[in-house]
């Protein structure tokens, strides 16, 4: 009788050991969910030299603390006709960086009148170096890297969005 008890206990411990050791061998992986584009408005860029040159974009608008802090993080790509417009309550020098941002960007700073006051071109993915506006700005527009040059944007060009 005592032998049966020990055999049952021994077998129970063996099963417990095998079940816990097999769990440890399983590889766990965490997959990052990609954030997808959500059109919240349309934006037009007007060239200072002529009103006939217009660039149109679909935009997401970042105007809450969460949206402003998250920005374009965790995106794998963005189309050429898309961007994110950050809308702030105040006008002050702005500092952006590329933490957790997977795609290279051009960062365009605009004043309260929605005129371009400065930009940072070709911001590198995952780089946490500060990218300042160097002048007061109320709005910031993020687009794919290279578009400031492609569109030949200049300080004084302006935007309109709805």
Three-state DSSP state, 49: coil
CATH of 41-161, one of 2.60.120.1140, 3.30.360.10, 3.40.190.10, 3.50.50.60: 2.60.120.1140
Minimal CA–CA distance to 150: which of 108, 103, 110, 109? 108
DSSP-H helix ranges across the chain: 2-25, 65-70, 147-150
The pLDDT value recorded for residue 29 is: 59
- Read off the tokens for 17: 């050991």
pTM of the model: 0.78
Give the residue carrying structure tokens 């679909």.
58
Minimal CA–CA distance to 88: which of 116, 112, 108, 63? 63
Q: Which of 5-14, 71-80, 141-150 has the lowest mean pLDDT?
A: 5-14
The mean per-residue pLDDT over the stretch 127-131 comes to: 96
The pLDDT value recorded for residue 13 is: 46
The pLDDT value recorded for residue 22 is: 47
Tell me the pLDDT tens digit for each residue of 40-73: 999 999 998 776 668 999 999 999 999 999 999 9
């Amino acid at each position: 009788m005592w032998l049966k008890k020990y055999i049952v206990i021994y077998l129970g411990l063996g099963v417990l050991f095998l079940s816990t050791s097999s769990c440890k061998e399983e590889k766990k992986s965490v997959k990052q969910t990609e954030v997808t584009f959500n059109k919240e408005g349309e934006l037009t860029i007007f060239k200072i030299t002529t009103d006939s040159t217009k660039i149109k974009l679909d935009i997401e608008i970042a105007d809450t603390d969460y949206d402003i802090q998250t920005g374009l993080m965790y995106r794998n790509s963005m189309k050429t006709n898309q961007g994110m417009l950050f809308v702030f309550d105040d006008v002050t020098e702005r500092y952006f960086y590329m933490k957790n941002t997977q795609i290279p960007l051009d960062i365009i700073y605009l004043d309260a009148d929605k005129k371009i006051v400065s930009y940072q071109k070709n911001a590198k993915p995952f780089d946490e170096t500060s990218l300042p506006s160097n002048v007061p700005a109320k709005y910031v527009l993020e687009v794919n890297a290279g578009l400031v040059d492609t569109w030949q944007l200049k300080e004084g060009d302006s935007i309109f969005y709805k």
